[in-house]
Amino acid sequence: MPVLRQYRDVVAISTIRTAILVGFLARLPLFGAGVVVTLHVVRSLERSYTEAGIAGAALVLAIAVAGPWRGRLLDRYGLRRVLVPSIVVQSGYALVAPFLEFGTFLIAQIVAGLFFIPVQAILRQTVMAAAAQSQRRTVLSLDGVVLEISAGLGPAIAVAAATTWNTSYVLAGVFWASVLAGIILYVVNLPLRRSPSSSEEPAQELGAPRPSTRTWFGLAVGALLLGAVTSTVVFAGTDLSTVGILNEVGKASSIGWVLALWALGSLIGGLVYGGLARPISPFLLLAALGAVTMLPALSTGTLSLGLLLLVAGLLGQPTITAALEQLVDRVPEVARGEAMGWHSTAMTSGLALGAPLSGAAIDRWGGAGGFVLVGLLGFVAGLSLWGLSRLRPGPRPATSGGR
């Protein structure tokens, strides 16, 4: 099959194989940290869930704020020089944070978030540098699928550990795992840019002059980032609305497998999109995602909810991949780390916005109302951004270093 051949050709590239494997392991602590922080504050520090939410938000928002800054440092100084401060700070956090009182723990959260290893920017730069331009859609889809798996396993492993052992030890363990991931990335030293010749060392890739951010961060890039924010608002709202609608009908025990169907849909959609010969506008995909996200509001039972979520999930990963692909086309290679940082910030911001928005809708109209609100938001935003892109198309792919 042509689709399988495309993925086989991508996985045959040794750098991509290494990045996918290391990326899977490095993302587990990233996705497990939030839930462990929540359980630690509630169980070991004996504080409220509100305070636990504040502590978790401090970590997530710090990671979001640091995204563009860390990405810019990657562009300027390379992988190893950016990793060293992260490894040092994460090690310090793992040693002291489990024993801090709540006030100082909050400060530690912010510091740890600012220096969290920029896994997303590193891995996406690596796979894009290693793949040919014709393979970009496939490799970004593959990376997205691996990310989905890490995002599902990370919290599950963290919860299992935190409910079995003292959360202080588990919290330390999560951040020691992050340190280990940083050390592995340092040793492997993944190349962040395409080398002019196969014999050139990764360290030689940093010689190209770096353009000012304002030369590439225009309306087109801003629209893509706004679309990324909206897509994750839809994802966060879908997650919470599923919980809400199942709680309403007394089927809370079904939350796990119903959400698993949603994730399965995203995995399938991502793999199929990666095999397409031509791209689809990320804004049209966002509009379609919004439309199908409203469908679970029509569910009549647990099974129908799961099946409708499976359909909605089919457009999840393709929406992210299409936006990333177009973003890469509009940014010089020497500024790609910063662009990936901005994209990570946009995604994180959407997650932070989506929960309270859908929560307010659920409080007022029930779980179905949460689906309708975030779905309608995605639909309107997608069509609006698509119309804007048609009126004012952005410049064609940027180049760097004269290539």
Residues 16 and 111 in one domain: yes
Task: With cut-offs at 50, 70 and 90, classify the pLDDT of residue 91.
Answer: very high
For residue 152, the enclosing domain spans 2-135+146-192
Query: In the chain, what is the straight-line distance between the N-terminal and C-terminal CA atoms, in Å?
Result: 34
Q: What is the dihedral of CA 194, 202, 347, 219, to 10 degrees?
A: -50
Q: Which two tokens stand for residue 117?
A: 């290893």
Residues 102 and 244 in one domain: no
Q: Does residue 198 lie within any of the structural domains?
A: no
Residues 20 and 158 in one domain: yes
Q: Does residue 116 lie within any of the structural domains?
A: yes
Phi and psi angles of residue 301, each rounded to the nearest 5 degrees, phi first:
-175, 180
Residues 168 and 257 in one domain: no
Residues 36 and 159 in one domain: yes
| Residue with tokens 């629209």, as numbered in its chain | 223
Q: Does residue 120 lie within any of the structural domains?
A: yes
Question: Model confidence over 107-148: pLDDT tens digits?
Answer: 999 999 999 888 888 888 888 888 888 888 888 888 888 888
Q: Does residue 200 lie within any of the structural domains?
A: no
- Does pLDDT of 372 surpass 90? yes
CATH of the domain at 302: 1.20.1250.20
Q: Does residue 203 lie within any of the structural domains?
A: no
Residues 119 and 157 in one domain: yes
Q: What is the dihedral of CA 276, 282, 284, 286, to 10 degrees?
A: 120
Q: Does residue 209 lie within any of the structural domains?
A: no
Question: Model confidence over 198-257: pLDDT tens digits?
Answer: 443 343 344 456 667 777 888 888 999 999 999 999 998 898 888 888 888 888 778 878
Percent of the chain at pLDDT exceeding 90: 33
Residues 165 and 29 in one domain: yes
CA distances from 27 to 30, 175, 236 (A): 5, 12, 19
Question: Model confidence over 140-170: pLDDT tens digits?
Answer: 888 888 888 888 888 888 888 888 899 999 9
Rounded CA separation 52/49 (Å): 5
More confident residue, 298 or 134: 298
Residues 222 and 368 in one domain: yes
Q: At what angle do helices 336-365 and 49-77 cross, to 10 degrees?
A: 160
Give the per-residue pLDDT at 392. Answer: 61
Rounded CA separation 270/275 (Å): 9
Residues 266 and 364 in one domain: yes
- Closest to 367 measured CA to CA, from 233, 236, 237: 237
Q: Does residue 202 lie within any of the structural domains?
A: no
Residues 166 and 223 in one domain: no
The total number of structural domains that make up the chain:
2
